[in-house]
Amino acid sequence: MQTQVGIIGGGPSGLLLSQLLHLAGISSVMLERRSRAYVLGRIRAGVLEQGFQDLMRRAGAAQRMERDGQVHGGVNIAYQEDRLRIDLEGLTGGKTVMVYGQTEVTRDLYAARDALDGVVIDEAEQVMPHGLEGDRPYLTFVKDGAAERLDCDFVIGCDGFHGVSRSVIPADRLQSFERVYPFGWLGVLSATPPVNEELIYARHDLGFALCSLRGPQLSRYYLQCRADENPDNWSDERFWARLKTQLPAEVAARLVTGPALEKSVAPLRSFVAEPMRWGRLFLAGDAAHIVPPTGAKGLNLAASDIHYLSSALIDWYKRGDSAGLDSYSARALARIWKAERFSWWMTALLHRFPENEGFGNRIQRAEFDYLMSSKAAQTALAENYVGLPY
Ligand SMILES: Cc1cc2nc3c(=O)[nH]c(=O)nc-3n(C[C@H](O)[C@H](O)[C@H](O)COP(=O)(O)OP(=O)(O)OC[C@H]3O[C@@H](n4cnc5c(N)ncnc54)[C@H](O)[C@@H]3O)c2cc1C
């Protein structure tokens, strides 16, 4: 089998890239380890920056997003009983975010790929890149028990944090930076009306809570938990009771509860691998970096990587210009580190850290009070939350 660009991983990064390349007349084959049903069933992010929305439009996959996505001009931060609305739109000259679930984004992108007869090989096992330091790399994999080979010009690792692509880069050619947080998020999806029309990030002495949403009758709530927490230990009753405790009373009073449709624990981690290129292998999205979800940046960073990488590949194929490929890693990392900083800052502001009792708690409160009183601080938050320019 032969193609121009071999893509490992069929998450948002791989899907967006293969679609944008296809529309520019560049062929690709995407190898995904899981079944289509599994990939479409994953519940993950839900807040899209303008840049992500624009890429969906360019990919010709924005129809449902335009219809069902909810535009949010503000976001709320609560500290115990105090609540502050950050006027994203007013503070950033009209910029907003859109609430539209990653599950729906993935569904739309698969539909767009199928409509163009894009080649996606699901349940591709033992995917392995080879020859990355030469001009003719290739991928080997097993499909339905048979060994296969895919020859290509470039290999793009879009296979998430636990994928294979980053692991084939020699240790002396890759530098990793990591912070693992001493807690995770316990998430519940419920078919209930959201408690608030905009997101509420809440910091309470018992820990962090987030009221998010996926639609008018679909809510997503999170509670800070132990990193190794077993979601089965949380009955629906226990979850709702704890959430009510950790929200300001006027919000808790409005909370509509119902059976959990999904309950899962996500660990929190900051991670960056540098550089994002080795020979003919390029990393994009979670394969190269992870942020804690507090700033809603994971999915959005995948989109900015794909923006840079798709333009670079198009320049290479259309004009023989390698400047974009050569500068891809540095360009992407410049934006990634700013999002890493913001996500780390939001996490530090809003969570309960075991080592923070006393001094650290007072600093958190002072940070929140400063945010309440300073338009400059609110503007900085707003500017980062809606997404820094590409
Ligand atoms: C549980 C969870 C909750 C999250 N919540 C949020 C949130 O609330 N807000 C936010 O902004 N971000 C969130 N994120 C982050 C966000 O979902 C990711 O940043 C985003 O999915 C990145 O897209 P990606 O395509 O780079 O990687 P992924 O979506 O991880 O896609 C990688 C794909 O590669 C496939 N793959 C892996 N290994 C191989 C292999 N060896 N061979 C072939 N295929 C392989 C995987 O099956 C997967 O389909 C969450 C992530 C997780 C895991």
pLDDT in tens, 70-100: 999 999 999 999 999 999 999 999 999 999 9
Q: Which residues pair with 179 in a beta bridge?
A: 270
Query: Ligand 1: which residue has its CA nearest to atom 29?
Result: 11
pLDDT 10s digits, 331-379: 999 999 999 999 999 999 999 998 877 899 999 999 999 999 999 999 9
Cβ-based neighbours of 319, under 8 Å, separated by 6 or more: none
| The pLDDT of residue 378 | 98
Please state, in angstroms and rounded to a whole number, the distance separating the CA atoms of residues 112 and 18: 10
368 CA from centroid of ligand 1 (Å): 31
Of 38, 40, 44, 166, the one to substitute when testing ligand 1's pocket (max ligand atoms within 8 A of C-beta) is 44
Burial 289-325 (b: 16+ CB within 10 A, else e): bbbbbbbbbbbbbbbbbbbbbbbbbbebbeeeeeebb
**In this predicted model, which residue has the larger pLDDT, 201 or 355?**
201
| The pLDDT of residue 312 | 98
Q: How many residues does the chain have?
A: 390
Per DSSP, helices labelled H in the chain are 12-23, 36-41, 50-58, 63-68, 88-91, 102-115, 236-246, 249-252, 298-319, 323-350, 359-373, 375-386
312 CA from centroid of ligand 1 (Å): 23
| The pLDDT of residue 43 | 84
CB 186 within 8 A of CB 231: yes
Average of per-residue pLDDT across 42-49: 90
pLDDT 10s digits, 245-295: 999 999 999 999 999 999 999 999 999 999 999 999 999 999 999 999 999
CB 27 within 8 A of CB 280: no
**Residues forming the active site:** 72, 201, 293, 297, 385
Average of per-residue pLDDT across 122-132: 98
Query: Ligand 1: which residue has its CA nearest to atom 21?
Result: 299
Mean pLDDT of the chain: 97
Query: Hey, is 44 helix, strand or coil?
Result: coil
In the predicted model, is pLDDT for residue 187 greater than 90? yes
pTM of the model: 0.96
356 CA from centroid of ligand 1 (Å): 31
Please state, in angstroms and rounded to a whole number, the distance separating the CA atoms of residues 357 and 369: 18
State percent of the chain over pLDDT 70. 100
366 CA from centroid of ligand 1 (Å): 35
296 CA from centroid of ligand 1 (Å): 13
Q: Which residues form the pocket of ligand 1, taking CB atoms under 6 Å from any ligand atom?
A: 8-14, 31-34, 39, 44-45, 102, 124, 127, 158-160, 163-164, 266, 285-286, 293, 296-299, 302
**In this predicted model, which residue has the larger pLDDT, 215 or 383?**
383
pLDDT 10s digits, 292-326: 999 999 999 999 999 999 999 999 999 999 999 99
Ligand 1 atom showing the smallest separation from residue 163 Cα:
38
